[in-house]
Amino acid sequence: MLENGPALTPKFGGTAGFAGLQGSGVFGQVSASISAEFGQALNIDLGVKFSVEGDGQRAAGARLGISGRF
């Protein structure tokens, strides 16, 4: 937790595999995100994701989540 600030939690992940159906082949995905918790009232989540498939297709995405108690 930062001094007098939000509690920051980093997250990292990845997956890899092989899909034999329709010749898709190898695929992989890497993700990273950070969550900021401002007390018990507000959470903010930021994340990015990058995916690659065996046939050369690539995809990237981002997400933003805000949640709170009321």
Enter the DSSP assignment of 6. Answer: P
pLDDT value at residue 3: 63
* Residue 1: inside a domain: no
Q: Say how many domains are in the chain.
A: 1
* Residue 49: inside a domain: yes
pLDDT value at residue 23: 65
pLDDT along the chain (70 residues), means of 10: 76 91 83 90 93 89 91
* Residue 19: inside a domain: yes
* Residue 2: inside a domain: no
pLDDT value at residue 19: 81
Torsion of CA 61, 57, 17, 30, to 10 degrees: -30
pTM of this structure: 0.72
